[in-house]
Amino acid sequence: MHSIKQRLAAGQQVNVFSIGAIPSFKIIEIAAMTGGYHAVWIDEEHAALSQRDIESLALSCRSVGLDSYVRIAPLNYAAVMRPMEAGVGGIMAAQIRSVDEARQIVSWAKFPPIGSRGINPSNFEANYTTRSLPEHIEICNRDRWLSVQIETLEALACVEQIAELDGVDHLFVGPADLSVALGVPGQYLHPDCLAALERVAHACKRSSKSWGILVRGPEHAALCRELGCQLFAFGNDLSVVLQGFKAVRSTYSMFFSSPTAAQ
C-alpha cells in the first residue's frame, strides 16, 4: 500500500471514497474490489463514529490495501489524537477558521519537539509496544498526514498563511459549506466559488502543498484538476446506495409504477 502522503509527495493523483452514514467493512471491501480507489475518508464529523468504529474501519481499510484518514470536528486534543492511535494514515480537520486553530491541530497531532501530543504505545500505531519510543515518535511525526479544510470565509481569508504552516500537509476544499458561506449555496461553478478554488490552488502551489476536494460532477472535477488538485473524493457510502436503489427502480420501472405495486 502506498500512503496518501507518499502518493501526493510523488505528484500522483489520489482517489478517495467516503464512509460514515453506513459504516460497514463490506462497503470498504466492495470499494477496494471495484478498483481505482487509493484511500477511504472516514467521516467522524457528521457521523459521530465511536473510537471502536474508527478502529474497525481502519482495520478494514488496511486489510484491503487502502490508506485511510478521519475527518474530525476539531473540538479537542483527543479528537485529533485517538484516530491516529487507531491506525489511520492521518486526519482532516473540518471547520477551521484561523491560522491559530490550524496551528493548534498541528500541535495536537505531532509529538514533541514539533507538537504537544502525548504518547501511549499500546495501540496499532505503535505496533502494540513492539517499537521503541524514539522510532515511534520519528515515524509518526514523519508519516502521519494532516489535512485542513478550507470551507469557511475566515479560513479562505487566511488560506495563504494556513498553507505555509509546518505540519500542514494538505488543504481540502469543502465545496458545499464554502458555497453556503459565499452566499451561493450549491452553485459550485459560480464565479465566487471558482475564485475561491483559484485562491486555494495558488496558496498551495506557492507553499508546495497539495490540495483536494469533494467533487460535484465531471465538469467540476475537471476544472479542479486543471487547477492542480491531486486528491478527489468521488462519492460516499450513502450516495452509492441511493444510486443503486434508483438504478434498480429505473430498470424495473414498470413494476414500481404499476397499480399493483402501489397497493
Q: What tens digit of pLDDT does each residue of 71-109 get? A: 998 779 999 999 999 999 999 999 999 999 999 999 999
DSSP summary character for residue 90: E
Task: Tell how far CA 196 is from the center of its chain.
Answer: 19
The structure's pTM equals 0.91
Classify domain 4-262 by CATH architecture. Alpha-Beta Barrel (3.20)
Q: How far is CA 88 from CA 75, 100, 151, 227, in A?
A: 19, 25, 23, 28
Locate the domains of the chain by residue range.
4-262
Report residue 260's pLDDT band, with 50, 70 and 90 as the boundaries.
low
Quick: pLDDT tens for 24-51: 999 999 999 999 999 999 999 999 899 9
How many angstroms separate the most distant Cα atoms in the chain?
A: 70
Which amino acid would we find at residue 255?
A: F
Cell of 213: 476536494
What's the mean pLDDT when you consider all of the chain? Answer: 94
